[in-house]
Amino acid sequence: MPWHLTSDSNIRMLPVHEQLFAFAYSYLAAANVLGQRAVERAELKDWPSGAVVLMNAAHAVELFLKATLLRKNSEFDVWAFSHDIHSLANEYERQFPEPHLSWDIPFRHSLPDDLSQEEKSYYRQHTAPPSIRLRYPVSRLGSSWLTLQAFEPHSFQQDLLRWEKDFDRIYHSEA
């Protein structure tokens, strides 16, 4: 059997933003493949499989936002955002206000306006970004996450296709 070794040599010399774009597209493709499997097995209502689809999609969005911001300014510190898609999305919208670059960025979180500072602080301490929360069934403390999570495979497949079109439109733009 011939070997078909794959290495990082095909992207290693690319600018960081192009490497992130490549990984964003790969994570989105993985979410799509796993999502299709979830559609085929929807009657099982398999939350762990759904969470993995969601985690791959969320990570794709995170990497795509970071790549887009870095493409505009290679000195921009995207790493300071950690895994915070909400903050990355806000920064993306600030830096790319043009209508043709607009998209409905998924995996944002927002807190109700009427929470006290103490409640907001508690929420932030006991939740995690999607790329973490969807990777583990419980927090580091072993307790359930404060959020209720769900997944519907049929409709999510439509979301994945829409996001792929958004990725393509923005990636191929002149921005």
pLDDT by position in tens, the chain (length 175): 889 888 898 899 999 999 999 999 999 999 999 999 999 999 999 999 999 999 999 999 999 999 999 999 999 999 999 998 999 999 999 999 999 999 999 998 766 678 788 887 777 777 788 878 889 888 888 888 877 789 999 999 999 999 999 999 999 997 6
Alpha carbon separation from 41 to 52, 80, 153, 155, 173 (Å, rounded): 14, 39, 9, 14, 37
First to last CA, the chain: 45
Whole-prediction pTM value? 0.90
CA 58, CA 130: separation in Å to the nearest integer? 6
**pLDDT of the residue at 127:** 76
Alpha carbon separation from 117 to 32, 84, 114, 130 (Å, rounded): 38, 19, 10, 22
